[in-house]
Structure 1
Amino acid sequence: MTKTNSSEDSGSLRTFVPLCIATFFLFSSYVNGVHTASGYTFETFWEQRFPNQSDVNSTQRSHCDSNTTSQAYQDGELVQKSVARWSVYISLAQGVPLIFTSLLFSSLSDTLGRKPFLYLGAFGMCIKQLLMTLAIFCRWNVYLFAPFTLIEGICGSWVAQLAIAMCVISDLTSAGKSRSFFIAVFSFVYGFGSSLGTFFSGYVVTLFGHDYSMAVSSGLAVSSVVVTFFVPETLASSNKRQNHNTGKDHKKKFTCLGNCQEIMKFYTKDDTNNPDSLRWKFITAISAFIFIKIARLGAFSMEAYYLLGSPYCFSSEKISVFETVKEGFSEMFMLVGIKAMHKCFMDEGIALLSNISSIAQFILFGIGSKELYLDIAVVVGSMGMASVPMIQGIMSRMTPPHKQGAMFGSLAVAENICNLSSGVIGGAIYSETVGFYRGTAYLVFAGFLFLGLICLIFLVKDSKKNYNRREYTVIIQETESETERHGESEGEKERERECV
């Protein structure tokens, strides 16, 4: 038995390690590319509007003027509004095709396997980064970044890639705290990749320029494609969806409408074969997921512009260091803190505490007027990233093995909607409110986090009720077994007396 378990663990690691490495490269490439493209677009718009101030050093001084009545400060606001509107176009180019690809890919992986879709997502990211590198080297129009991003969206981007990777983890692990921990470790890996991408973007841009920074993104994307080739297929034939269909369903072919119906079943009716698969729990969990994702992705979409402007006036290099430290605190908590907290809390409780941490961080960002506020926010919000993997673990725990792809497909659809809407919301709010209160967007997103907090409270109450019910059931079972043993002993004594 021990040998079997050790061989299974080693087999899981042979899959989990290359999956983590490939995802690490993918997210490093993506985040580095986002920051590089944003910085390059900022400087491009500045040069177009104010050609006499095209020098980077003078530009940095001008758009960071803290005097709100000066011409330099007003010029900086015009550039920030232009960049915010450009980011809306990029978000739409990525998000619209992802509505369909995220809907299809994860659910299709329950039938066709995981690996083809992992490879497709990495390939799309690679093509986009190569084209954007060429565009920056050749000084093409920055609005061409939108069709390049469209290619990434058609191939699934990081949204579908992440959903498929979660399906792989569910194939490798058993439901419960073990799976939640693996998801947390995986989240640490891609979060660390994101932090490293941010760090690279600042230093490479400062030392070599935007063109070489985007070339680094291309190299990381190519590495992701190569490593993905070594990730084996994890979906067993017995767990493929067609093998769980009976009767007429067994003859049905995959259709887009049927796929949508399969995904919506989680949120429209209870699963009679799985007592934990309750409709209200799925709806509550995905509602919390949506609120949290809108807040975090929305803040990510405009945080670089927020830090570039007054009163912080961060340079690209300083932004990279700050973002790396901020993400690093959260990732270290996920790697170490979740394992320790699992001894005292269920997944629902950890998600709740994590969300409270995020609310405090966003409020400090919104009201901050000095760097000290940002530093305090980094420490206070160190638990913030743990809520999403915990919710993913909760929903995976409620789902049977042959429907994991469909469930994570529903999360991919939700994540894409959040990615699309949050980018638009963040850019729109920031561009319209930067003139009178720069922190408005963070306070709005803190409101979204509060709505997620309400949903998590319901899940925590239900988990406590189920935990108490399980303890009560165990006591009853123990009492019944003791009664049965007592009855058996009395029967044996009676038979002995009859024999005498």
Structure 2
Amino acid sequence: MDSVQEQPQVVKSQETASNLEEKPNSSIKEMVISTVVLILFTCAGNSSFPLFTQYINSCYWEVYSNGTISTNNQSPCRANVSDEASGVEVRVQQSTSLETLKICLCFLIPSVFVNMFVGSYSDHIGRKALFLLPMLGSTCKYVGFLLVVKFHLNLNFLLIGTLMDGLSGSIFTFILANMAYAADVTTTHSARTLAIVITDCSLSIATALGQIMTGFLIQKLDYFYASVIYTTIILLAIAIVIFGITETVKKTEVKELSPVVHFKKVFGFYFNKSRDNKRSIFIVYVIVFALLSIGLSGKYTIEILYELGRPFCWNPVKIGYYGAYTTVFMTICGLLAIKLGPVCVRVEILAVAGMFLQMGSLILEGLARTDAMLYSVPLVASISSVAVPVIRSVLSGMVESHEQGAIFSSMATVDTICAFMGSTVLASLYRATVGTMRGMAFLVLAAIAFIAALLTMLVIVKLPRQPSYEQILSPPEDEKAPNPNQNHYGTIPKGENNTSC
């Protein structure tokens, strides 16, 4: 009688796991190819915002100065020191901030809705689609920019290509694809954490490379040829995905096409009462992740404008050098911390230390008045880059193998919503305070980092240390009949309590 009752559960488990390819014995090849794709696309894709910002800034300098100031080799705000020129510089900063805000809204609002579902669908249709979709959108964005620069079109035409990028999920879907792919090709929790950290660090290195390239391409060539080069790089990445990436998910029929079903899969981690005390940890950590996302996106939106304006008045090359130096230094510190730190302390404690250091660096940046103070910001930040990948890894480790697309989709959605909030609020705040206290926005970001650190400390104090499990298993999806010897992390070693975080 019991065997008759258990039979449907076995079939259901096999059905659930049928869309997962067998994990490869070695994930090195897959990780190398996906990292190459990640570096190529991120280098080109993430360079669009500094490229667009500096082009818009140069356009407004020509408008407000009646074309009398050249912006090719020197920052125009340094070329004029009169009160009248200072007033022009403030108006340029305000107008540029408004235009960048419009661009952010155009790609962030559609991305929110796209990223709610694509991760869950990718558990059925495969990961390649996740890679290709944002690449095609980014290509459309650069084509629109090429036309605006070539034919001197109104800046509002930039919004068309940016909207296409948003409808593709933008960089958020691409990050989702890489994180889910890294989870697919790894077989242990330690390997997964390392793979996610390497992916996050590769994003940073590629961003740094793109920042250096952007400065030199603007200085040596111009905005048009810079965008041509970046478009070519994206097309190369598309070719590698089509012919080089190994699909890690067997394509199966999506039995439920309703977005509501996939919405529940993506956000069920935070509302499903059957997960018991794990639901609270999901909620707290996703709030921490949201706060960190607001800080990162908000800083990214205003930092270039901050460097272009007084008292720094940096040119494109100097901005590129600083961005590369910041990214590479913090990435190296983060890698060393994540590799050596867990020997002594929990990774969550490393994340808290990173958040406090991030808070200190933001305060320093907001109060900076000289180049030396600004160059000291990365030194203070140091290991702050570990916070986001640690939170990603913890959330990924709390779900089963066949739920990786859904959990990363939920993080991508939260990331997109918070990027929208951070970009909107911080750009508006910077625009309102640029004439009085330019660094006010950075001080607000420091307060956000402080709140995130406090919440993470609360989790560490209230909940016990996670047990370490080696093999990632995929238990039956039917939660009404759980195996008493398994939890969401795998088989529980004998003698240990069934305590999950």
What TM-score, normalized to structure 2? 0.85
Deviation at 1:60, TM superposition (A): 2.5
1:127 counterpart = 2:140: yes
Aligned residue type for 1:392: R
Compared CA separation, residues 56 and 49, structure 1 to 2 (3 A): same
Residue in 1 that maps onto 2:33: 18
* Equivalent-residue separation in structure 2 for 1:412 and 1:425 (angstroms): 20
2:433 matched residue in structure 1: 433
Secondary structure at 2:236 match in 1: helix
Amino acid at match of 1:103: M
Larger Rg: 1
- 1:113 paired to 2:118: no
In 2, distance between residues paired with 1:446 and 1:81?
A: 23
- How far does the alpha carbon of each residue in 1:181-237 deviate from its partner, in whole angstroms, 9 at most, with x for none? 111111111111111111111111111121122222212211221121211111257
Q: 2:257 aligns with which of 254, 258, 261?
A: 254
Cα 1:236–1:426 shift into 2, 3 Å: same
Among 230, 249, 256, the residue aligned to 1:235 = 249
Question: Does the 8 A contact of 1:175 with 1:396 survive in 2?
Answer: no
Q: Secondary structure at the match of 2:40?
A: helix
1:457 aligns with 2:457: yes
d(CA) in 1 for partners of 2:213, 2:370: 25
Mapped contact 1:90–1:149 kept (Cα < 8 A): yes
CA distance in 2, matches of 1:134, 1:475: 62
The aligned counterpart of 1:139 is 152
Task: Report the counterpart of residue 196 of structure 1 in structure 2.
Answer: 209
Structure 1 pair 46/399, CA: closer, same or farther in 2 (3 Å)?
A: same
Q: 2: CA distance between counterparts of 1:432 and 1:319?
A: 23
Query: Aligned AA for 1:226?
Result: A
Q: Which of 472, 477, 483 does residue 495 from structure 2 map onto?
A: 477
Residue 264 of structure 1 and its aligned partner are, at CA, apart by 2.1
Q: Is the alpha carbon distance of 1:172 and 1:475 closer, same or farther for their aligned partners in structure 2, counting shifts above 3 Å? A: closer
Matched, 1:267 2:280: no
Which residue is equivalent to 1:347? Answer: 347
Higher helix proportion (structure 1 or 2): 1
Offset, 1:347: 2.6
State whether residues 64 and 73 of structure 1, in contact with CA within 8 Å, keep that contact through their aligned partners in structure 2.
no
Give the unaligned 5+ runs of structure 2.
1-22, 469-491, 497-501
Q: Take 1:448 and 1:349, find their aligned partners in 2: how far apart are those partners? A: 18
Which ranges of 4 or more aligned residues in structure 1 deviate by more than 6 Å? none
Partner of 1:492: none
| Alignment partners' CA distance in 2, 1:396 and 1:159 | 16
State whether residues 90 and 145 of structure 1, in contact with CA within 8 Å, keep that contact through their aligned partners in structure 2: yes
Alpha-carbon distance in structure 2 between the residues aligned to 1:236 and 1:454: 42
Structure 1: gaps spanning 5 or more residues: 1-6, 243-251, 469-473, 479-500
Q: Distance in 1 between matches of 2:385 and 2:421?
A: 20
Structure 1 stretch displaced more, 171-180 or 99-108: 171-180
2:234 corresponds to 1:216: no
2:287 alignment partner, SS class = helix
Residue 100, structure 1, aligned to residue 120, structure 2: no
Change (3 A) 1:136 1:57: closer
Q: TM-score, normalised by structure 1?
A: 0.85
Question: Which stretch shifts more, 123-132 or 300-309?
Answer: 123-132
| Residue 324 of structure 2: aligned partner | 324
What amino acid is the match of 1:325? Y
Structure 1 residue 269, shift from structure 2 partner: 2.2
Equivalence for 1:313 = 313
Q: Distance in 2 between matches of 1:373 and 1:66?
A: 22
Q: Report the CA distance between 1:270 and its aligned residue.
A: 4.0
Q: Give CA-to-partner distance per residue, 1:66-93, whole Å, 9 cap, x none.
A: 66xx010110000110000001110111
2: CA distance between counterparts of 1:476 and 1:23?
41
Deviations 1:224-268 (A, max 9, x none): 21121211111257xx797xxxxxxxxx52211111112221111
- Give the percent of matched residue pairs that are identical in Structure 1 and Structure 2: 22
1:120–1:155 contact (8 Å) kept in structure 2: yes
Q: Whole-Å Cα distance in 2 between the matches of residues 241 and 289 of structure 1? A: 32
Alpha-carbon contact 1:191-1:331 (below 8 Å) kept: yes
Structure 1 Cα separation of the partners of residues 291 and 125 of structure 2 = 32
